[in-house]
Amino acid sequence: MDQNSFFFQAMVYLAAAVVMVPIAKRLGLGSVLGYLLAGVIIGPAALKFIGQEGQDILHFAEFGVVIMLFVIGLELEPELLWKMRKSIIGLGGLQVLVTAILFTALGIGFGLLWKQALAMGMILSLSSTAIVLQTLNEKGLMKTAAGQSSFSVLLFQDIAVIPMLALFPLLATSSPIATGDHASSTLVSGLPGWAQTLVVLGSVAAIILAGRFLIRPLFRIVAATRLREIFTAASLLLVVGIAVLMTQVGLSPALGTFLAGVVLADSEYKHELESDIDPFKGLLLGLFFIAVGASIDFNLIMQQPLLVLGLVALLMTVKAVVLFILGKVFKLAIGPNIIFAFALSQVGEFAFVLFSFSLQEGVLPKETVDLMVAVVAISMALTPLFLLINEKLIQPRIGTKESVEERGADEIEEKNPVIIAGFGHFGNTIGRFLRAHNVKMTILDNNPDRVDLLRRLGFKVYFGDATRYDLLHAAGAANARIIIITIEPADKRLELIETIKKHFPHLRMLVRSTNRFDAYDQMNAGMLHIYRETLDTSLRVGVDAMKFLGFRTYAAQRAARMFFKLDEANLKKLSSIRDRDQYIVEARAKMEELELTLKSDLQQITEMKDTGWDEETLIEEFNQPKS
């Protein structure tokens, strides 16, 4: 069997993930550590299914980090990002600066030239966006103080990669190594400094303007096709296109896609984009972690075990201490501060890019790069394990372990308690009524024309098919309290009911019913709160007709209330009858019983002449001319 064929390689990666990740999850190790172990097993150190091509796969899989930053950007509206500016610039900036200075000093102490030491210090100041965010998300820590602080630092680090790439050519200590994918192929290579700056700024401005004025109309056209695969393709095209543009102007693709995500965070396509992109993010991140595990050079480790492990221990200790001190300065409590320090104590995936770039530019020698790549990979692999140790052993002892309920409460504050699925005439009335009472809600609708119109009218409506689990999850269904189901057609409502019962059983469902038979299906699906739109409206028309015919207001409204109550009771009894002939017999009997009850009640009212409370009738009688 050709082990280099695409299908064989794909089978190996998928099999490794499918086997190792569930085992790791069952042992409480988390999916990231499962992927890393899978990479070690199928890599050169064990089964040897992956050889030198593992590094190429690693660079390809880094696209998973790019997609992850896009999804994170979608969840961050510009206002929230502005609120986090002190944490991003202050905490993130200090972490990069202090850590880079310390590692530069240590590098000089280990005998490196100052330029090499400075490059090493900048590289080692970075942490792994992929591993940290994935692990914190799995543990439900992203909305905590530790999670938000970690995100702020990681975001600043991603921005800091740009000036680092610009500075590295100035730190060269030997002749650059020519390679096929050298940075000279970019659009800005060969341009003077001021021109490069203009191109970079112009690219960033182009992303912002396109997100505001071009991408939304394009997605509106794509959504009108009602073909999910085309919308998915358009979503991927957006991310890939921005990544290519950023690469060509010498910027970080992850930073560019993050910026695009932030620009689109308040668009009507936010949840649809997130749910379409998320599966690709998960697969590519898994591939990235497997490639990291496979890239660990165990031969080098066995040749110099004390040096490699000593460097790993020194690196992670220095970073953890710096992070812990900065956490204290920024007033993090002891528990979140320990999580924050452990989470970011490794070196990140961008180190592989920067080490490769420093080798190309003649900044660092190959022996040093090979050694540090092994150190970085081990530090990344140890991070999920350290967080697990912290969770099981350290946090319980210091008494600050956050419960799942507490973390859920933090998350609920940023989610809306009500979701409305479908915003046609029925849902629109409900939405306007709730908004008038300051009830926060997330509105989903799968008609692109209606979404566009409603947003112009001032409603924040999101485009997407609400029957999809991933879209509901992205819209906050895990934390919402109520979902109002008004979508068309009836079978879609039943599909959505089943999805919610399966994945979000805590949600209270209020369901629109078009007619009686629609209500039967919903009752048999277990629904308790069913609202027949034709019943309420028909009864209101009936009340007005009775008043116009001379019936008193009190009598007409009392009759409507009684009809509604009796008809609802009959509805529950008739919903279980499957045989058509039996249904007709029972339905006819119930209608006759209802009519007799209403006639009897009306006769009693007439005999009692109980109209004392009927203000409208009294006014009408008062205004009649006296004879």
390-394, 396-400, 508-512, range with the lowest pLDDT: 396-400
Are 380 and 29 in contact by the 8 Å Cβ rule? The answer is no
Cα dihedral 368, 373, 375, 378 in deg (nearest 10):
-170
Tell me if residue 510 falls in helix, strand or coil: strand
Distance, CA of 85 to CA of 79 (rounded, Å): 10
The CB density around residue 576, as the number of other CB atoms within 10 Å, is: 10
Could you give the residue ranges of the DSSP H alpha helices within 504-552?
516-524, 533-548
Mean pLDDT calculated for residue range 112-122: 92
Q: Tell me how far apart the alpha carbons of residues 116 and 499 are, in angstroms, rounded to a whole number.
A: 56
Of 71-75, 94-98, 461-465, the least confident: 71-75
Q: Which residue has the higher pLDDT, 257 or 98?
A: 98
For the cut 50, the answer to whether the pLDDT of residue 255 exceeds it is: yes
**Model confidence at 580: pLDDT above 80:** no
Residue that has been written with the tokens 């009959």 in this structure: 570
| pLDDT tens digits, one per residue of 286-338 | 887 787 778 777 888 888 889 999 999 999 999 999 999 999 998 888 888 89
Rg of the chain over Cα atoms, rounded to whole angstroms, equals 32
CA distance 524 to 528: 10
> Whole-angstrom Cα distance, residue 234 to residue 214?
13
Q: What angle do CA 328, 334, 336 make, to 5 degrees?
A: 95
* Joined tokens for residue 71: 């999804």
Closest CA to 292 of 348, 236, 344, 237: 348
- What is the percentage of the chain residues whose pLDDT exceeds 90? 11
pLDDT at 117: 93
Confirm whether 6-406 and 415-513 share one CATH topology.
Answer: no
pLDDT at residue 77, rounded to an integer: 65
363: pLDDT strictly greater than 50: yes
Residue type, 381: A
For residue 347, CA distances in Å to 154, 276, 385, 573, 608 come to 11, 30, 15, 66, 86
Of 111, 123, 224, 225, the C-alpha closest to 167 is 123
Q: What is the pLDDT, as a whole number, of residue 102? A: 95
Q: Output the pLDDT for position 541.
A: 67
Q: Tens digit of pLDDT for each residue in 219-254? A: 888 888 888 888 888 888 888 888 888 878 777 677
Q: How confident is the model at residue 414 (pLDDT cuts 50, 70, 90)?
A: very low
Q: What is the pLDDT of residue 411?
A: 31
Q: How many CB atoms lie within 10 A of CB 580?
A: 8
The first and second tokens of residue 557, run together, are 């409204």
**What phi and psi, each to the nearest 5 degrees, are found at residue 482?**
-135, 140
Q: Does domain 415-513 correspond to CATH entry 3.40.50.300?
A: no
Helix (H) or strand (E) holding 481: none
pLDDT on residue 401: 42
Q: Which two structure tokens, joined as six digits, stand for 43?
A: 């890599």
Give residue 51's pLDDT: 63
pTM for this entry: 0.60
pLDDT at 621 over 60: no
Q: What sign has the CA pseudo-torsion 302, 306, 312, 315?
A: negative
As a whole number, mean pLDDT of residues 464-484 equals 86
pLDDT at 174 over 80: no
Question: Whole-angstrom Cα distance, residue 326 to residue 337?
Answer: 9
Q: Which residue has the higher pLDDT, 443 or 415?
A: 443
Instruction: Please give the CATH topology (third level) of the domain spanning 6-406.
Output: Na+/H+ antiporter like fold (1.20.1530)
Instruction: Mean pLDDT check: name the lowest of 196-200, 260-264, 422-426.
Output: 196-200
Whether the Cβ atoms of residue 381 and residue 36 lie closer than 8 Å to each other: yes
Query: Any bridge partners for residue 485, and if so which?
Result: 421, 511
Residue type at position 379: S
Q: What percent of the chain has pLDDT over 70?
A: 83
Looking at 80-94, 97-111, 263-277, 528-542, which range is the least confident one?
528-542
User: What confidence tier does 619 reach under pLDDT thresholds 50, 70, 90?
Assistant: low
- Higher pLDDT: 507 or 71? It is 507
pLDDT at 405: 37
Q: For residues 69 and 496, which has the higher predicted lDDT (pLDDT)? A: 496
The answer on pLDDT for 404 being more than 70 is no
Other CB atoms within a 10 A radius of the CB of residue 163 amount to: 10
Hunting for tokens 């492990």 — which residue is that?
A: 309
Is the pLDDT assigned to residue 424 strictly greater than 70? yes
Which residues are within 8 A (CB) of 408 and not within 5 positions of it... i.e. 6 or more apart?
140, 479
Say how far apart CA 333 and CA 385 lie, in whole Å. 22
Q: Is 69 helix (H, G, I), strand (E, B) or coil?
A: helix
C-alpha angle 322-325-329 in degrees, rounded to nearest 5: 135
pLDDT for the residue numbered 607: 60
Q: Which two tokens stand for residue 401?
A: 């372990």
CB 45 within 8 A of CB 296: yes
- The whole-number pLDDT of residue 80 equals 66
Q: pLDDT tens for residues 537-573?
A: 666 766 777 777 677 888 878 888 888 788 778 777 7
pLDDT of 1: 54
Residues 551 and 502: their CA atoms lie apart, in Å, by: 49
Round to whole Å and give the CA distance between 359 and 344.
25
- Section 467-482 average pLDDT: 86
The ranges assigned to domains in the chain are 6-406, 415-513
Mean pLDDT confidence for 50-74: 69
- The answer to whether the peptide bond before residue 396 is cis (omega within 30 degrees of 0) is no
Question: For residue 5, what are its two tokens?
Answer: 């064929």
Read off the pLDDT of residues 336-346 as tens digits, 9 standing for 90 and up.
Answer: 889 999 999 99
Q: Which residues contact 280 (CB under 8 A, 6 or more apart)?
A: 64, 67, 236
Residue 181 has pLDDT above 50, yes or no: no
State the DSSP string of 418-471.
Answer: EEEE--SHHHHHHHHHHHHTT--EEEEES-HHHHHHHHHTT--EEES-TT-HHH
